[in-house]
Amino acid sequence: MERSPCGRARRHSPQQRPAVTAVHADPQIIWSAIALLGVLILAGHAGRGRRRRDPNRFYTWPEKQVLIQQAAGRCEHKPPLWRRCPAQGTQADHIVPWSRGGRTELWNGQLLCERHNQRKSNRVPSTLYRWRLQRRRTKY
């Protein structure tokens, strides 16, 4: 309290009281608020970068015919050090798998034999594999 010039304690009226007051919060409430804020931030980032899947999962018969003609009916898989697979290509496969956001379009399709299609599964091929496939396609 302030003192008046004569030494007495001066009382403030309600309008003159200082506006500074201490706020005491429960630590459990503070930690709960911080946790909630963290969950909201993580939830906001979880949906980013996700692509919507192509609604068409399988290649149509005309698209498969184009892939067969493009590959001359053979499997398009080629290991790094060997020749192209001699087996007949029987399955249209997504180069970038449909389950990983790959589109069902001709530029993302390749003709594989059953063995290589099962072996590839839903793996995304390396950039080198895709480059080699694109380069190989100009030769046949």
Local confidence pLDDT in tens for the 140 residues of the chain:
555 566 666 565 556 655 656 566 677 888 888 888 888 887 766 655 556 777 888 999 999 999 999 999 999 988 878 888 899 999 999 999 998 888 999 999 999 999 999 998 888 889 988 998 888 888 77
The answer to whether position 121 is within a domain reads yes
The answer to whether position 29 is within a domain reads no
The answer to whether position 83 is within a domain reads yes
The answer to whether position 126 is within a domain reads yes
The answer to whether position 23 is within a domain reads no
What are the Cα distances from residue 96, in Å, to 28, 86, 105, 127?
Answer: 48, 23, 11, 11
Residue 99: CA count within 13 A, CB half-sphere? 6
- The answer to whether residues 59 and 100 touch, using CB atoms and an 8 Å cutoff, is no
The answer to whether position 78 is within a domain reads yes
112: containing domain = 61-137
- The answer to whether residues 75 and 93 touch, using CB atoms and an 8 Å cutoff, is no
The answer to whether position 116 is within a domain reads yes
Q: Exposed, middle or buried by CB within 10 Å (0-12, 13-18, 19+), for 92? A: buried
Q: What is the predicted pLDDT for the residue at 14?
A: 57
Q: What is the predicted pLDDT for the residue at 83?
A: 86
Nearest to 75 by CA among 110, 108, 118, 106: 110
Q: What is the predicted pLDDT for the residue at 79?
A: 83
Overall domain count for the chain = 1
pTM: 0.58
Q: What is the predicted pLDDT for the residue at 11?
A: 62
Q: What is the predicted pLDDT for the residue at 51?
A: 62
The answer to whether position 74 is within a domain reads yes
